[in-house]
Amino acid sequence: MDERQRNILKEIVEGYIKEARPIGSKHLCNKFNCSSATIRNEMAALEKLGLLEKNHISSGRIPSEAGYKYYVENLMKPKELTGEDMLKLQTIFSNKNLVVSDAIEECLEIISDITHYTSIALGKESNENNLRQISIIPLEDEQIVALVCTDKGIVKNKQFTIPKGINIVEIVKTSEIINKMLVGTPISQISERLEYEIKPIISQQIKQYETIYDIFYNAFNDFVSSKENFHVVGKAKMLQQPEYNDSKEIKNLITKLEDEEAIRKIEKNDDAKDISIYIGKETEFDDNVTIIKTNYSLGGEKGTIAIVGPKRMEYDRVVGLLNILNKWLEEKGE
């Protein structure tokens, strides 16, 4: 591909991203100071290379998946944020009272508002966490809090009312038995070990052991089923894109955005911190979208941040946003 073809491809990709309609030769003639025939020949050559496609309702061309891929790998430059967009993010970055998970969620809200795409944050699933400790904290009015901590630094709590006739001392004693026997156990295996290892022991040492057993079983079960490490922001934003003017397409997309198992595939089991771009079929999520994602590791907690949009996505702007977010996360980790 020569320089003019590269420039024509870049112009078509960026024009289609902006206008959401096929780009014809007339649009390019003045830009490249060429005749319509010359532009049409170049577009035909790019189509033969598999980088452009002809729209059935127009003589213009649109980028193919391969065309988008070539663009992001060879022609695109990340876009600098506007002062207004940067100010919105800086307001969150400078808030020292926000824990990282809350700050990330607020960033997702802003990114979704800025881009009109869907933003996703995925923490590692609970079955990738091992038990570090469970603590019982007495409160007033017959209330306690069961605090579950993992080796990844994740802390979850559940509040309980102490049933009548139950001694708080026996609840604490049970927590000590669990800590002695189950520390280091994957969270996903705790319930089984509670049933077959802990329950027989406390049945011999604890009065009304079944009621106390239920407190701990529920605390761990809540941890495993928690969705706090799974955030999807701006589902409806995607529906503002012209690609989604068909009820079938809308239903298909919304169904997938509400399916945790489908979204978890976005993690792709890689730990690369660089920004990765997956287009169409290679997303393994939906053939008609692009996913731009990055991974992070902070304070022992790992996760993925992803932006889901149409293939006609503002790649340069989204990559610019994630570059800023990555820089902030790196600074937080220092």
Question: What one-character-per-residue DSSP string does 113-179 give?
Answer: HHHSSEEEEEEPPGGG-BEEEEEEEE-STTEEEEEEEETTS-EEEEEEEPPTT--HHHHHHHHHHHH
Could you tell me where in the chain the CATH 1.10.10.10 domains are found? 3-75
- Spell out a b/e string for 136-175, using b for 16 or more CB atoms within 10 Å of the CB, else e: beeeeeeebebbbbbbbebebebebebeeebeeebbebbb
* Nearest in space to 188 (alpha carbons), one of 158, 220, 148, 215: 220
The reported pLDDT for the residue numbered 202 is: 94
How far is the C-alpha of 305 from the C-alpha of 122, rounded, in Å? 6
According to CATH, what is the number of the domain 3-75? 1.10.10.10
Indicate the pLDDT class of residue 238, thresholds 50, 70 and 90.
confident
The reported pLDDT for the residue numbered 31 is: 86
The reported pLDDT for the residue numbered 182 is: 94
The reported pLDDT for the residue numbered 220 is: 85
How is domain 83-124+230-333 classified at the CATH fold level? Beta-Lactamase (3.30.450)
| pLDDT tens digits for range 102-143 | 778 888 899 999 899 999 988 765 556 789 999 999 888 788
Q: Under a CB-based contact definition with an 8 Å cutoff, are residues 332 and 300 in contact? A: no
Q: Under a CB-based contact definition with an 8 Å cutoff, are residues 118 and 257 in contact? A: yes
How far is the C-alpha of 320 from the C-alpha of 307, rounded, in Å? 12
The reported pLDDT for the residue numbered 126 is: 54
N-term to C-term CA, the chain = 44
User: What are the residues whose beta carbons fall under 8 Å from the beta carbon of 246, sequence distance 6 or more?
Assistant: none
Picking from 18-32, 67-81, 88-102, which range would have the lowest pLDDT averaged per residue? 88-102
| Percent of the chain residues topping a pLDDT of 70 | 90
Picking from 30-34, 47-51, 267-271, which range would have the lowest pLDDT averaged per residue? 267-271
Indicate the pLDDT class of residue 17, thresholds 50, 70 and 90.
very high
Could you tell me where in the chain the CATH 3.30.450.40 domains are found? 83-124+230-333
The reported pLDDT for the residue numbered 75 is: 96
How far is the C-alpha of 262 from the C-alpha of 255, rounded, in Å? 10
How is domain 129-225 classified at the CATH fold level? Enolase-like; domain 1 (3.30.390)
* Nearest in space to 288 (alpha carbons), one of 329, 248, 231: 248
The reported pLDDT for the residue numbered 298 is: 66
pTM over 0.85: no
